[in-house]
């Protein structure tokens, strides 16, 4: 099949590379440098499996900035453009999805469009009402950054949602089934669960899944806040709690807060979708993350007491070890709070090519970083801090997640 993928980020590029083994895929982006890299067999994102497949060649994949041409030739357009949270509107900014829909409707109104971007609950249905001539589906994406292709090769489930009451009802149901089968065919999990449901429910699945993950992180973080405040050993409590198989010993490692591109924005979006619906937990999930960062920042300030002109070393701006970007990482929330207190900071971030980050000096020299930091904060532990363990503040107790 001729497929166009709009957006060559984590979601778009992993799907393009996945499908280009069997299908003819054109990846579209507005950023020329990303397109050039892909056409040279290199990846604009860090993901071992994607890099491997691109370097190996043998894929029917090309990248372009000529969106109209790509969409005109495609039977299927997968939309994987960003949907950032707009704090003023209190809602996702979906304009990049609509840009693609409008271009496709101009260039090739017959094409089926599958929205893979995360959108507000009810969005695809509303879009169908706005563009009744559009053949739209929504398929939630569950991949993790850094393991994008791996997660599409080993999906936990594949879901596609069909809007109701469109002119193409029967056709869209068949195309949704075809889409989940197509992804399953490329995966290495023959028994993977495939669900075709209504689009609005599929959108809800995505936001409820991510908000549950945020809730779980927030829960173990609040457990840790309690233990720290009362002088208890968090590790012992977590181990004891998690031996109950209903709770499970996964995804329970304390941190400075949940972060990354998706959990903060998806939980805020779900909270916004609750307008006029009674709830307590959704608000708590969002607010717990602020409270946690306030607590961590206060702990850091407390540890600095008595030090003359201290410098706080910030070990990595990434959210997790292995990540290649700093989007909404929780350590930045700690930095903002320390900055408000006038505390000097020094950042060690080897992937950052600028001399300062929001007013704090940046170094690539780990040894001078260690020497010049009175205290080092690290959201995730790394063995390269082993020789200065005594001055590292981290809540990473299990060295994972
Ligand atoms: N990153 C994740 O782990 C993840 C997981 C699941 C779902 N999602 C969702 O998927 C969507 C994409 O996320 P991502 O992390 O891949 O984003 P990204 O920022 O890594 O990539 C998006 C790409 O789209 C391009 N783009 C913007 N406007 C465009 C347009 N009009 N036409 C073509 N390309 C355009 C950008 O240049 C960028 O390269 C978001 O809605 C996100 O919430 C992300």
Residues 114 and 248 in one domain: no
Mutational test site, ligand 1, from 9, 139, 262, max ligand atoms within 8 Å of CB: 9
Q: Whole-angstrom Cα distance, residue 385 to residue 383?
A: 5
**Residue 369 placed within a domain:** yes
User: 3-class DSSP state for residue 401?
Assistant: coil
Would the pLDDT of 400 be above 90?
no
Q: What is the average pLDDT score of the chain?
A: 97
Q: How many CB atoms lie within 10 A of CB 13?
A: 27
pLDDT at 323 over 90: no
pLDDT tens-place string over residues 123-139: 999 999 999 999 999 99
Residue 202 inside a domain? The answer is no
**Cα distance between residue 90 and residue 286, in whole Å:** 13
303 and 259 within one domain: yes
162 and 98, same structural domain? yes
Domain with residue 58: its CATH number is 3.40.50.720
Mean pLDDT along residues 95-112? 98
Overall number of domains in the chain = 2
111 and 253 assigned to the same domain: no
Interval 24-42: pLDDT, tens: 999 999 999 999 999 999 9
Atom of ligand 1 nearest to the CA of 103: 31
- Whose CA is closest to 152, among 129, 185, 128, 119? 185
Token output for 145: 């950054």
pLDDT-derived band at 321 (thresholds 50, 70, 90) equals confident
199 falls within a domain? no
Ligand 1 centroid to Cα of residue 249, in Å, is 31
Task: Give the separation between CA 40 and CA 35, rounded to whole angstroms.
Answer: 9
Residue 399 belongs to a domain: no
Cβ(82) to ligand 1 under 6 A? yes
Claim to verify: residue 233 and residue 348 sit in the same structural domain: yes
Which residues partner with 356 through β-bridges? 361
Q: What is the pLDDT of residue 31?
A: 98
Burial 162-171 (b: 16+ CB within 10 A, else e): bbeebebeee
Does residue 234 share a domain with residue 179?
no
Q: Cα(232)–Cα(71) distance, rounded to whole angstroms?
A: 59
Q: Are strands 375-377 and 360-363 parallel, antiparallel or unpaired?
A: unpaired
Residue 34: predicted pLDDT = 98
- Whether residues 27 and 169 share a domain: the answer is yes
Residues 39 and 166 in one domain: yes
| pLDDT tens for each residue of 255-278 | 999 999 999 999 999 999 999 999
Tell me the two tokens of residue 26. 């054109």
Rounded to an integer, what is the distance from CA 216 to the centroid of its chain?
A: 16
Give residue 106's pLDDT: 98
Query: pLDDT value at position 95?
Result: 98
Contact 223, 234 (CB under 8 A): yes
**What's residue 172's pLDDT?**
97
User: Which one of 157, 192, 227 terminates a domain?
Assistant: 192
Residue 401, pLDDT > 90, answer no
> Is residue 363 helix, strand or coil?
strand
User: Token pair of 6, please?
Assistant: 């709009």
Name the domain boundary from 129, 157, 192: 192
Q: How far is the CA of 29 from the centre of ligand 1 (A)?
A: 10
Q: Are residues 177 and 272 in the same domain?
A: no
pLDDT for residue 324 is more than 90: no
pLDDT tens-digit map of 195-221:
999 999 999 999 999 999 999 999 999
- 332-371: per-residue pLDDT in tens? 999 999 999 999 999 999 999 999 999 999 999 999 999 9
CA distance 157 to 140: 10
Query: What was the pLDDT predicted at 190?
Result: 87
140, 158, 192: which is the final residue of a domain?
Answer: 192
- Block residue for tokens 């509107």: 89
The residue range of the domain holding 76 is 2-192
Nearest CA residue ID for atom 25, ligand 1: 7
368 token code pair: 């001078």
- Ligand 1 atom nearest to CA at 92: 41
Higher pLDDT, 190 or 177: 177
62-75 pLDDT, tens per residue? 999 999 999 999 99
- Separation between Cα atoms, residue 401 and residue 399, nearest integer Å: 7
Joined together, the tokens standing for residue 309 give 């002109």
Residue 129 lies in a domain: yes
Q: What's the mean pLDDT in 237-249? A: 98
Is residue 242 annotated as a catalytic residue, yes or no? no
Looking at the fold, whether 147 and 12 belong to one and the same domain comes out as yes
Q: Is the pLDDT of residue 247 over 90?
A: yes
């Amino acid at each position: 099949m001729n497929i166009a993928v709009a957006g060559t980020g984590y979601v778009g590029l992993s799907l393009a590379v996945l499908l280009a083994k069997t299908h003819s895929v054109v990846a579209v982006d507005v950023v020329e440098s990303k397109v050039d890299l892909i056409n040279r067999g290199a990846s604009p994102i860090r993901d071992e499996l994607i890099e491997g497949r691109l370097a190996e060649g043998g894929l029917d994949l090309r990248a372009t900035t000529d969106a109209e041409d790509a969409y005109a030739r495609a039977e299927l357009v997968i939309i994987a453009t960003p949907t950032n949270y707009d704090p003023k509107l209190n809602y996702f900014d979906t304009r990049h999805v609509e840009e693609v829909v409008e271009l496709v409707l101009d260039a090739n109104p017959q094409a089926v469009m599958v929205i893979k971007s995360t959108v507000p609950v009810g969005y695809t249905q509303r879009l169908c009402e706005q563009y009744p001539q559009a053949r739209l589906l929504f398929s939630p994406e569950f991949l993790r950054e850094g393991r994008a292709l791996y997660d599409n090769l080993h999906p936990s489930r594949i879901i596609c949602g069909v809007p109701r009451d469109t002119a193409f009802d029967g056709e869209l149901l068949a195309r949704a089934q075809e889409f989940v089968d197509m992804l399953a065919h490329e995966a290495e999990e023959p028994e993977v669960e495939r669900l075709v449901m209504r689009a609005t429910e599929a959108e809800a699945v995505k936001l409820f899944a991510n908000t549950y993950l945020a809730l779980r992180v927030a829960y173990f973080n609040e457990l840790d806040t309690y233990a720290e405040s009362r002088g208890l050993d968090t590790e012992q409590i977590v181990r004891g709690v998690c031996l109950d198989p209903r709770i499970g010993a996964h995804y329970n490692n304390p941190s400075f807060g949940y972060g990354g591109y998706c959990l903060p924005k998806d939980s805020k979006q779900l909270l916004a979708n609750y307008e006029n619906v009674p709830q307590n937990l959704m608000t708590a999930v969002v607010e717990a993350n602020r409270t946690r960062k306030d607590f961590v920042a206060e702990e850091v300030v407390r540890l600095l007491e008595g030090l003359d002109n201290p410098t706080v070393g910030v070990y990595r701006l990434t959210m997790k070890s292995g990540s290649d970007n700093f989007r909404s990482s929780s350590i930045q929330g700690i930095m903002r709070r320390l900055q408000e207190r006038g505390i000097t900071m020094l950042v060690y971030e080897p992937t950052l090519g600028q001399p300062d980050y929001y007013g704090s000096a940046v170094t690539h020299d780990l040894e001078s970083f260690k020497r010049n930091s009175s205290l080092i904060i690290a959201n995730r532990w790394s063995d390269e801090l082993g020789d200065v363990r005594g001055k590292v503040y981290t809540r990473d107790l299990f060295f994972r997640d």
